[in-house]
Amino acid sequence: MKLAEAYRLRLRRKRLVWRAYGRRRQLQPVQVRTAQIQPKAILLIATMRNERIRLPYFLRYYRDLGVDHFLIVENGSDDGTREYLAEQGDVSLWSTQASYKSARYGADWTGWLAWKYGHGHWCLTVDPDEFLVYPFCETRSLRALTDWLEDSGARALPAMILDMYPKGTIHAAAYGEGEDPFQAAHWFDSGNYMISRNPQYQNLWIQGGVRARTMFADEPQNAPALNKIPLVKWERGFAYLSSTHMLLPRGLNRVYDDWGGEKVSGCLLHAKFLDTLAAKADEEMQRHEHHANSREYLAYQQSVQNALWCKWSERYVNWRQLEILGLMSKGNWA
């Protein structure tokens, strides 16, 4: 890498860290229990708005995986999200009415929490509709995974977003509080993914799946990115560039094997396509707080009456199925 390019990226990283530091003033503590965080605790960091119906399952799922403490920013909810989270003994909660869009779609807020509390910890940054699966996740905890990653010299785990959907329209996928969303939405696209390498930041860029097939068929280049790096052994000075799609320093993005082998990777099962999506899309189209003038939510709004399932759809079974399909890898973790 040329010295000028290295300097430019280092400067950008420092600016992002300072930007997050400045946005800390937008966060009002609601219930801060960070004194509970032990030296080896695994932390989950998230920003959310009006996700009350998802929270019981979301918290239970990640507690069962091995998350020790949750650092959550609540952004102007009016459905009981704030009150419910404040009651949870392993949740530290902050609230803000500030613009989600102006905070780099929440990345400034989560960046501050990672800087303040995440240094030296494995931090998992996810959305409330994303559920991490990784090799042996039914029998091995997140602690087993992070211990193995550290022993292997890895600082991060990549995971591809896997959109899950019902066989009929999303209105057929009725979702109730505390339920497993994948009982209603258990189908996914097993192919039609496009993968390229970003030469500037050295991460893989993945597009495709059901959203590219049904919502962006005429402009697949505008389909959402499916590559994420959600699990990182955090250090002060790290910064996410675009959601959790890529990081600085850019060495953290080298989570693939250049020599034909495969490093460990996971998937984020994406539980967006439930009957709750129509109301969410309407709300977000009014707020205009998402990327590209909420273009993605416009696509959701226009497609909620359509069935996403097709004859090539695959019914989800477990992580081993995803490995066989080439959507994730156990690498040499035996």
| Mean pLDDT per 10-residue segment, the chain (334 residues) | 86 97 98 98 98 97 98 97 98 97 96 98 98 98 98 96 93 90 96 91 93 89 94 98 94 79 90 88 72 65 81 96 96 91
pLDDT score for 178: 92
Its pTM stands at: 0.94
pLDDT score for 289: 63
pLDDT score for 2: 80
DSSP class of residue 99? Answer: -
Q: Domain ranges in the chain?
A: 3-324
pLDDT score for 41: 98
The per-residue DSSP string of 246-289 comes to -EESGGGG--S-TTS----BEEEEE---STTHHHHHHHHHHHT-
CA pair distance 106, 96, nearest whole angstrom: 11
Q: How far is CA 28 from the centre of its chain?
A: 23
Buried/exposed code over 24-40 (b: 16+ C-beta within 10 A; e: otherwise): eebbeebbeeeeebeee
Helix pair 107-117, 3-23: axis angle to 10 deg = 90
